A = this chain, B = another copy of it.
C-alpha cells in the first residue's frame, strides 16, 4: 500500500466506525494530539476529547458519512487531503432526520507506530451550520411521538 493509499484509507476507517456509531473507532484515526476543527464550536483537541465529542452524537443518532477525496499530496511523513463530505443522520428514537453536505481539509501524519492518522481536520457545511436548537428540535420531535 502506498502512502497515498494509506492516507485515503483513513477515510474508509472513519466511515466504517461512523456507520456503527463507534466513537473510539473514529477517534483511533486521529493522532493523540490531533485537532478537530468542526463548525459551530471551538476546536476539539486530543484523541480522547475527539471520542468524547462523538459519543453523545452517536448515542442519539445513527449516522452515515460519505467522503469524496478531491486531492491528496504527501510530503514525507505528512500529507494534505481535501474533499467533500455528506452526512445523513437519523434519530435512534423517533423519525427525525438530517442531511448535511460540506468540504474539508485534513493534515495526516505518519504516526509513531507507522500508521497514518489525521493530525488536523477542519470542515464546514455548504449551508448554515445546524445549531444546537435545530438538534434540540429533532430531539423534541422524538419525545413527541
Contact = CB atoms under 8 A, between A and B. Distances in A.
Interface residues of A, number: 28
Given A80-B80, A105-B105, A40 B127 contact: yes
Contacts of A43: 103
B126 A103 contact: no
Contacts of A105: 37, 105, 107, 120, 122
Interface string A89-119: 0000000000000011101000000000000
Interface of A: 35, 37-43, 73, 75-76, 78, 80, 82, 103-105, 107, 120, 122-129, 131
Contact of A40 (B37, B76, B82, B126): B126
A39 B41 CA distance: 13
Contacts of A120: 82, 105
